[in-house]
């Protein structure tokens, strides 16, 4: 088991009122799984993603990632957990505009203290893995949206993380580019990568092998296709 959340609650204070965002969430993910977590806007899915990604801590409950107790980690240890265990893929790519594809993919390796020669070699391999071996010197402005997202995926996998955590990974893409990204996720999962994808779109969620639904802070496993075609998202 690579990830184990048990009885997770997350509360926030709004003025003097306590707001319960996540309510008794338990979730375990084994190595090599491909899980989609689907929910409408305001369901708690972003909060849950932040907890899984070690960007935030729950109010109560337990979280073990790769055998480590996340709640017992210091801030520095949490940074290391993110760096070595989780590859993030965001809706908006989050690439540095003045850096080449290769330089963008090298970034996590810089933080990890990998020597320059090895950084460049590993970044090239990651870009080849996502089908962009011919585009390593291109800057984000010279790439299509789909290509930019593939650079972001190469950056996410270059450190060989335990989990690829994707937040609405096709949200900013046209359907053709979105299909390419989903095909790439399938390929990575076939190669053994553990993927957790957060989405409000049933068509995107259907690509995963396992589906969980979050509504009003409550997570339920779903065996069948979702009833709704899509959840309305109001961003």
Mean pLDDT of 166-189: 94
* pLDDT value at 231 more than 60: no
* pLDDT value at 230 more than 80: no
- The Cα–Cα gap between 116 and 44 comes to 40
Contact 26, 3 (CB under 8 A): no
| Domain boundaries, given as residue ranges, for the chain | 3-222
For residue range 127-157, what is the model confidence (pLDDT) as tens digits? 999 999 999 999 999 999 999 999 999 999 9
Q: How many CA atoms lie within 13 A of 85 on its CB side?
A: 19
CATH of domain 3-222: 3.40.50.300
| Confidence (pTM) | 0.91
Q: What are phi and psi of 197, to 5 degrees?
A: -120, 130
For residue range 96-124, what is the model confidence (pLDDT) as tens digits? 999 999 999 999 999 999 999 999 999 99
């Amino acid at each position: 088991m690579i990830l184990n959340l048990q009885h997770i609650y997350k509360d926030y204070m709004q003025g003097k009122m306590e707001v319960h965002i996540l309510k008794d969430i338990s979730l375990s993910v084994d190595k090599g799984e491909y899980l989609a977590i689907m929910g409408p806007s305001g369901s708690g899915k972003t909060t849950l993603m932040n907890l899984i990604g070690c960007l935030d801590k729950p109010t109560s409950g337990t979280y073990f990632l790769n055998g480590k107790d996340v709640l017992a980690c210091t801030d520095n240890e949490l940074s290391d957990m993110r760096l070595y265990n989780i590859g993030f893929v965001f809706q908006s790519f989050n690439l540095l505009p003045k850096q080449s594809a290769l330089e963008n993919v090298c970034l996590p390796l810089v933080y990890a203290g990998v020597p320059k020669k090895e950084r460049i070699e590993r970044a090239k391999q990651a870009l080849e893995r996502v089908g962009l071996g011919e585009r390593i010197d291109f800057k984000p402005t010279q790439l299509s949206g789909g290509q930019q997202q593939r650079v972001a995926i190469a950056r996410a996998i270059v450190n060989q993380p335990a989990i690829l955590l994707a937040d609405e990974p096709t949200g900013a893409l046209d359907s053709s580019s979105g299909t390419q990204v989903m095909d790439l996720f399938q390929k990575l999962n076939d190669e053994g990568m553990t993927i957790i994808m957060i989405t409000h779109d049933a068509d995107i969620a259907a690509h995963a092998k396992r589906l969980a639904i979050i509504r009003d802070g409550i997570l339920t496993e779903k065996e069948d296709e979702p009833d709704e075609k899509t959840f309305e998202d109001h961003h």
